[in-house]
Amino acid sequence: SLSGTPLSTSTSEATSTATTQPGQRFASLSDIKGTVQVKANPNANWTTVTAPINIAPGATVLTSENGSVKITFSPEGTIVRLNAQTQFTLTDMSGDTANPITTLKLDFGKVFTVVTKALGSGKFEIKMPVGVAAVRGSYMSAESNSTDNIEVVTCLEGLCTYNNNNGNVNLITNQYTQAVR
């Protein structure tokens, strides 16, 4: 069984939770399949998403057992794909377009990340219950399996890192590491 907030039966359509200005960074949900829910902040209600929307830091996204969604961070073009039964929160989206800083908190499930351009002095991190995975201009998957109590980080291409209280691991193409909760 998964930990986290159960899906509600609401089917209302979400509206944009973030507005954007020219040159400003933003995150957009698209390629919505199955049931995908969003809440704008920890105190908000879950809303079922049926059309593309923008989300702001503090928003949580949850996919059901048949759900998946693509999140595109603009203007840099980084892509995150959420698998089924995944919950994450966008905790930080600061920096500027040349040095973007993006942090996600993965509660459970699996995400695939594609960082499409150099981050300058910025960073892209996924915080999980035990450790933090980072990707540097490459492809990575990160999984927090609450049933088996493990975290798995796979560097699909390029350079990735994973660190926790026991140390730091640098990963290159086709290498993975796992940690037990």
Q: Which of 9-13, 34-38, 62-66 has the lowest mean pLDDT?
A: 9-13
Please tell me the distance from the alpha carbon of residue 77 to that of residue 73, in angstroms, as a whole number.
Answer: 5
In which band, very low, low, confident or very high, does the pLDDT at 80 lie, cut at 50, 70 and 90?
A: very high
Quick: pLDDT tens for 15-61. Answer: 344 444 545 789 999 999 999 999 999 999 999 999 999 999 999 99
Averaged pLDDT of the chain: 86
Rounded to two decimals, the pTM is 0.84
Q: Give 24's contacts (C-beta < 8 A, 6+ positions apart).
A: none
Task: Count other C-beta atoms under 10 Å from residue 9's C-beta.
Answer: 8
Residue 23: its pLDDT value, please? 58
Return the structure tokens found at 135: 């990707």
Q: What six digits make up the tokens of 161?
A: 């890192």
Which residue type is seen at 142?
A
Residue type, 172: I
For 44-47, which contacts have Cβ atoms below 8 Å and span 24 or more sequence positions? 45/8, 45/10, 46/5, 46/7, 46/8, 46/10, 47/10, 47/12, 47/13, 47/14
Two tokens at 147? 């049933």
